[in-house]
Structure formats: structure tokens, C-alpha cells
Amino acid sequence: MNSDIILIDGGVGTSLWEKTDDKVAVWRYNIEKPEIVLELHKEMADAGAKYVLANTFGANRLAMKGTDYTVPQIISRAMELAHNALDGRDVNISLAMGPLTGLLKPFGPIDKEEAYDIYHEMAEAGIAGRPDAVYIQTFLDLEMAKIAAKAVRDVEPDIPLMISLTFTKSSPKKGPRTMMGNSVPDIIEGLRPFDPIGIGLNCSSGPEDALPIIETFSRLSDIPLIFKPNAGKPMMEGGSDVDYDEFAVEVSKAAEYAGVKFIGGCCGANAGYIAALRNKLAL
């Protein structure tokens, strides 16, 4: 077993939805239900996660259009909550940045300049809140991930940066691909200029389907790797159709692959899944 594994947290959105019947965009909870955000951060740290995501994943101006909220307001409050919950603990707070709801032109309505401005606004607001790292995650499109990474680097060139994409199922001929057709070699070389401390996959699928993808990364990448799959099929009422022990057994297999450094969970993986994974990995 790789002794250098660092445990990271689980699915923020699905875990927050478990805590309330008011299932709105989860960035709203920073203002409307801050107590559940604080509770989740503490649960993930108690479970053993060494990187915990602030509740900022979808906090961008496109998502907030038509509301009375602003990006600086939501993100600054998210960072404040993360520090309130986690300061004094041996935990790294990560600013989370997710994909936009539309695709880049010519496949969608968003041009690259607009996307850059959106991510730059997120990065400015978030980095002002003193995160230990930035985690760009769940991207379907390498080009959009690169735009987000450039925005982060333009705001703070030296902050530790983690980047992961989400994949469709692999095919024997083409290997793993994102929805936009990006291959593992595309991703490794496309992200290398941003000097990330970790790259890989999150979300995508349950661990059984995701393991062959991280194995492909392991064979090709000299950059440390992130493995953060869903806990099977997430359920609206919370949790997933995979139990804690089954998740831990499957996800821990990634620790045997060369280069894998960061392991956690995504959709459906509440703090119970992370605690089970910590126990299985003996961290």
C-alpha cells in the first residue's frame, strides 16, 4: 500500500443535501443555512480528510444570475465558514471551482474571454479568503479547465493547484475520454504548464468503473494523481447505493497504482464514506 496517500474529502453538494429538505443550489447555504456548511466541514475533518473543500464549487455569476447574491459575497462567506470550522485543525482548506453550466463556443454560448472573467472573479474572491489550495474539479472540457487554471495562476501564481476532470466510460479502442473527447494524454500535457500538485479524475462514476481510468493515468503521468470517484449511484435522500465498506474496499485499490497521492470521494460520499476509507487505508 502506498504510504504517501493523502485523504481528501467527499461530495459537498450531495452531503449538504442530506442535511436539509430545502434542496437548492448549495452555494446558497453559505448565507441561508450556514450551520449545515459548518457541520459538514467539521464532519469531513473528523473523518480524516486532510483537504476539505469550501462550499464554492458552483458559486459563479452565471449560476447567480437573477438572484440578489454576488460572487464575492457568497465566496467570501464560504471561506469564512471554512476557516471558522477548520482553523486550528491539521486540515487544508481548498477553494473549489467547478465547470460552468454552458459549453464553450462553438459547442455552446460561452466564449473564452467570458469564461476567463468568470473564473478570475471566483479566484480573486476565493484567494482573498486565504485558502491553502485551489481545487478545479468535475470539468468535462479540458479547455475550460485550462481557462480556470490560468485565472487562478494570474491571481496567485504560487498557490497549490489541484485539477481533475470527469470521464465517460472507457472504450477498448479509444480509452478513457471526457464528454468533450479529451484523452488522458491530452489532459496530462494540457495541465502540465499550470504546475498542479495533483491531476486526475473525480465524479465520473462509481469506483469500479473509475479504477481503469486512474490506472491509465498511472501508466502515463509523472504528475501526482487524484482519485475521487462517486460512491456508486447517489440518492436524493442522501448516501448512495454502495455502502461504506464496499466503497472503501474498491476505492482503496487505487492506492496500489504508481503516482496516486490524493484519494477521496465525490457525489454520494458523505463523511461516513471518508471515515471508512481512512480506516481501510490505515491513515
Model pLDDT, residue 168? 87
d(CA 54, CA 174): 35
200, 225 contact by CB (below 8 A): yes
Here the contacts of 217-222 (C-beta below 8 Å, separation 24 or greater) are 217/184, 217/188, 217/257, 217/259, 218/257, 218/258, 218/259, 218/260, 220/184, 220/185, 220/188, 221/184, 221/188, 221/259, 222/259
User: pLDDT 10s per residue in the chain (283 long)?
Assistant: 566 999 999 999 999 999 999 999 999 999 999 999 999 999 999 999 999 999 999 999 999 999 999 999 999 999 999 999 999 999 999 999 999 999 999 999 999 999 999 999 999 999 999 999 999 999 999 999 999 999 999 999 999 999 999 998 676 777 899 999 999 999 999 999 999 999 999 998 899 999 999 999 999 999 999 999 999 765 555 556 789 999 999 999 999 999 999 999 999 999 999 999 999 999 9
For 170, the grid coordinates are 472507457
Please compute, for residue 225, the number of CA atoms within 13 A of its CA located in the half-sphere on the CB side.
Answer: 26
Main-chain phi, psi angles of 221, to 5 degrees: -100, 140
| Helix/strand/coil for 175 | strand
Cα-Cα end-to-end distance for the chain: 11
133, 197 contact by CB (below 8 A): yes
- Ordered by where they begin, the domains of the chain are 6-275 (3.20.20.330)
d(CA 218, CA 184): 10
For 141, the grid coordinates are 472540457
d(CA 170, CA 162): 23
Model pLDDT, residue 64? 97
Model pLDDT, residue 169? 67
Alpha carbon 187 to its chain centroid, in Å, reads 16
pTM across the whole model: 0.96
Our CA angle for 67, 117, 190, nearest 5°, is 125
235, 241 contact by CB (below 8 A): yes
* Sheet of strand 6-7, all strands in order from the earlier edge strand to the far edge: 6-7, 260-263, 225-229, 198-203, 161-165, 133-139, 92-97, 51-53
